[in-house]
Amino acid sequence: MLLTLRQIMQQVDRAATLDDALAMAVQQAQKALSLDACAIYLKDPEGDTYVLVASDGETPPMLEPLGGEPGRRLVTVVGQRRELIVELETKVQPADGAPKDLTELAAGSFLGTPLIHYRTLLGVLVARKPAHQPYAADEVTFFLSLGAQLAKLVHEAAAMDGVGRLLRRDARADPYIQAVSAASGLAIGIAVSAEAQTRLESVPDRVAADPVAEEAAFNAAVAAARDELQAAGERLAGTVPEAVRALFEVQVMLLGSDALVSDTVDGIRAGNWAPGAWRTTIAHHAQVFEQMDDPYLRERAADVREIGQHVLMHLESRVRAARGTPQRCILVGETVGLAEIAAVPAPCLAGIVSLHGSPLSHMAVLARALGIPAVVSLAHAPELLDGRELVVDGDEGRVYLESSPALLKDLQKRLDRKRTRSAELQALRALPAQTQDGVQLPLYANIGLPADCAAARISGAEGIGLYRTEYRFLLDEALPVEDEQLRDYRQVLEAFAPMPVTLRTLDVGGDKVLSSFSVQEENPFLGCRGIRFSLDRPELFLIQLRAMLRANAGLGNLQVLFPMIGTVSELDEALHLLARAERELVAEGLEAARPRVGVMIEVPASVFLVGAMARRVDAFSIGTNDLTQYLLAVDRNNVQVVTPYDALHPAVLDAIRQVIDTAHRFGKSVSVCGEMAGDPAGALVLLGLGVDALSMSPPLLGEVKRAIRCLTHERARQLAEAALGMEDGFAIHRLLHRALDRIRACSGST
Ligand code: PEP
Ligand code: MG
């Protein structure tokens, strides 16, 4: 049954439209399980009704389209219960006391499973056999698995408006791919792959400038790939079973086949360049194998694709040279990282599309800081993005594969509205973030490179609340020496003096990996991260602390911040090294100024240690990104858990309250520098909880300031109190968004 399921899904995946795919699925399921009938109903996302979109076999009442038919409730029941229902020998007449929905059926053995993806009910898959014919256990498993796989397919189509169009019976082309917004703004540009090696399927066609040279390059690439495979097979002789070694021979043999080579040479002679002609040949031959009945031959399709990629590796320099970096480049990758962003010349980078990842990843944080529109976690990964013109809509989290004049006009209108809005916010730049009853809340900027100072100043930030020093370490191949670090830190401190600048010590680990110190960890977010990394390498840590202290000389506006502190002894050790750095500098006759010292509260344990730590440091900064992740046990980088990841969760709010209350009892200040501070709803509740400052990405500062200027501190306090009394995050979101709606009606004069 498993093999049958795999074959069905292979066919379904190849279908051109969702309509065809679902029709094929029910047809094949009906055959595989000898059903009377099989059907798929999709739930209309706009309402609570189900629409029959595919059916096969006889259509008994229970499978008929909804609308007063007896079967109507049946499909609904599967959806409502969100569980597999196996109902054998259902009766035509309701039995006394029996659940009515399930008994108002035509006689038969009924099977129904909901189509659920990421906890969203998308539809229902139902089937019927004649009465008294039970379903075997493996048939039920088959049906359940088919439902799960179809749910993923429907989800992907829904993300491209495919479901809406199917329900509307609208045959227009897919307009966009839904993704998750990571950094706002609009960008139009040419997709450039961030991957080290180009995928063969994404190689474009191109006119060959010199067909003879193309043919020679292709033959050389094939010969090199064949030699490598042969050598690898020979190296393994005697160390692996012959059957395994034979796999190499199969590939060598396929590579030597006339068809693969001659078809490609024909393509080159017809005018295509070698990588494009090779892509066409491989796609054709892999498809031929895939359609074979013999399972062994079908498996050879994977070999053909593997060979295709291998030969392309030898043609890669041609692909890269031909590609170059377009003027307006949209960087596209599986999971785009900081190093890939750094590899694109800054003026060329227009947008970022990361097929995976989350808006809380450090890539997203950097994109927001740079003001580059970015989307992550595409619901559906298209085959050919490289080299295509794309539109990235960072506000709605969409990627448009084609930019029609109508779309561009629409987007331009939105851009104009945004410009007007940001001009309005810019007018607030010189005004303080002051509530209507006169309470001022300093707003600082989060940055990571000296070049970001300009954006921070333009935003009206009153200082730097978080300077992520690790960005320099991640962007440079070599570790920056003390003088290089000093130059960076000095530049930032000078740019803002006498306003405060908080330099956070190195916070690597998790998704921020230093290439020169990469360690293999099963679970890096719970591994050698933040202060643990620095304390493990005191020689590196001391260099950084010395650079910070030297940068503060004659200015005195530095605050050093330690990340990921989880125990008091970690803090003591860090303070000890800070004191040692200071002593060393004094002994060397260098000028150093003692800074203020702060601790980040982002490990849940530290929430309970604020009292002990308050005796040792000047301030606390709450990192709500990590605090939320660790307190709620939800990965900040995993979009599958994006709903449970909620900085407005009552437990997170209560932890923040506890930190503020304890720190204030000791006369110490508390700021918040996680993404929550840049969200107007989050900012209001933090203001009400009594936080002393907020720090955020510069583009977010205007909206937060506007929200603060439109209410009284007393009102914010009431909102925080009400939020603390609530039991779930949804209610808190509702409360704060209602308050924000009222604020939006506030006059522009504020
Ligand atoms: C945080 O965790 O909230 C924070 C500001 O640190 P980072 O996002 O750099 O981990
Ligand atoms: Mg953090």
CB 369 within 8 A of CB 447: yes
pLDDT for residue 663: 98
pLDDT for residue 13: 76
For ligand 1, is residue 621 a contact (CB within 6 Å)? no
* Domain ranges across the chain: 2-168, 174-195+326-428, 197-319, 432-743
Amino acid identity at 96? D
pLDDT for residue 201: 81
CB 685 within 8 A of CB 723: yes
Give the number of the atom of ligand 1 that is nearest the alpha carbon of residue 470.
9
How far is residue 459's CA from residue 697's CA, in Å, rounded to a whole number? 9
Nearest CA to ligand 1 atom 3: 623
pLDDT for residue 160: 58
Quote the tokens at residue 142.
């088959």
For ligand 1, is residue 637 a contact (CB within 6 Å)? no
State the greatest distance between any 2 C-alpha atoms of the chain, in Å, as a whole number. Answer: 97
| b/e burial code for range 541-563 (CB count within 10 A of at least 16 → b) | bbbbbbbbbbbbbebebbbbbbb
CATH superfamily of 174-195+326-428: Phosphohistidine domain (3.50.30.10)
pLDDT for residue 548: 97
Give the number of the atom of ligand 1 that is nearest the alpha carbon of residue 674.
3
Write out 522-579 in H/E/C secondary structure: CCHHHCCCCHHHHHHCHHHHHHHHHHHHHHCCCCCCEEEEECCCCCHHHHHHHHHHHH
User: Quick one: CATH architecture of 2-168?
Assistant: 2-Layer Sandwich (3.30)
Pick the CATH number of 197-319 from 1.10.150.120, 3.10.580.10, 3.40.630.30, 1.10.274.10: 1.10.274.10
Q: What is the pTM of this model?
A: 0.67
What is the CATH topology of the domain spanning 432-743? TIM Barrel (3.20.20)
> Given 3-state DSSP classes, what are the helix, strand and coil percentages for the chain, each rounded to the nearest 5?
50, 15, 35
CA of 507 to the centre of ligand 2 (A): 8
Rg (the chain; Cα; Å): 30
Q: What are the residues whose beta carbons fall under 8 Å from the beta carbon of 370, sequence distance 6 or more?
A: 183, 341, 349, 452
Write out 133-159 in H/E/C secondary structure: CCCCHHHHHHHHHHHHHHHHHHHHHHH
141, 145, 148, 149 alpha-carbon torsion, rounded to 10°? -170
The verdict on whether 673 is a catalytic residue reads yes
CA of 564 to the centre of ligand 2 (A): 7
The verdict on whether 710 is a catalytic residue reads no
Give the number of the atom of ligand 1 that is nearest the alpha carbon of residue 602.
2
Q: Tokens 């439209």 belong to which residue? A: 17
Q: Which of 310, 362, 380, 649 is catalytic?
A: 362
pLDDT for residue 471: 84
Q: Which of 38, 453, 673, 710 is catalytic?
A: 673
Q: Is 219 helix (H, G, I), strand (E, B) or coil?
A: helix
CA of 538 to the centre of ligand 1 (A): 22
Quote the tokens at residue 46.
């706009």
Walk along the chain (750 residues) in steps of 10 and give the mean pLDDT of each run: 79 77 89 88 78 73 44 68 72 46 54 84 86 83 90 75 59 66 87 75 83 91 87 73 72 83 92 92 88 77 85 78 77 79 80 84 76 83 71 87 79 81 85 96 93 88 96 78 95 97 93 74 88 94 97 96 98 98 95 91 98 98 97 81 83 98 98 96 98 94 94 97 95 94 66
Write out 344-393 in H/E/C secondary structure: CCHHHEEEEEECCCCCCCHHHHHHHHHCCCEEECCCCCCCCCCCCEEEEE
Q: Around Cβ 411, how many Cβ atoms within 10 Å?
A: 18
Q: CA nearest 450: which of 424, 486, 426?
A: 486
pLDDT for residue 70: 46
pLDDT for residue 100: 46
CA triple 646-710-712, angle to 5 deg: 85
Nearest CA to ligand 1 atom 1: 623
Nearest CA to ligand 1 atom 6: 623
How far is residue 452's CA from residue 366's CA, in Å, rounded to a whole number? 10
Say yes or no: do domains 174-195+326-428 and 432-743 share a fold: no
